[in-house]
Amino acid sequence: MADIIQFKKKKPFDKNKGHTLCKRGFHKWEIVKDQQFDTKQGKLVTVYQCKRCGATKNEAH
C-alpha cells in the first residue's frame, strides 16, 4: 500500500506574511553598509533596505 501525504493548505495570513505592513507604508528599514558614498553627487549617502520586502530608499547627508 502507498503512503498518503496530506498537503498543507495555505491560509490568507501565511500567503501575505510580511507584505501587508509594507503595502501600508510600515517598512522595517535597515542600513546597508556596502554603499556609503555617491560618486555623482560627491556626498555621503545612507542606503536603507526593508527587511521584509527588499525596497530601498536613499538619504543624502
The pLDDT value recorded for residue 45 is 83
User: What is the full per-residue pLDDT of the chain (61 aa) written as tens digits?
Assistant: 778 888 877 776 666 666 678 888 889 999 988 867 766 777 788 889 999 888 999 887 7
- Strand segments (E) across 10-54: 29-32, 37-38, 43-50
Mapping DSSP to helix (H, G, I), strand (E, B) and coil, where does residue 39 land?
A: coil
Cα–Cα distance measured from residue 7 to residue 1, given in angstroms and rounded to the nearest whole number: 19
Cα–Cα distance measured from residue 37 to residue 13, given in angstroms and rounded to the nearest whole number: 39
Report if pTM > 0.75: no
Q: What residues have CB less than 8 Å from 28, skipping those under 6 apart? A: 21, 50, 51, 52
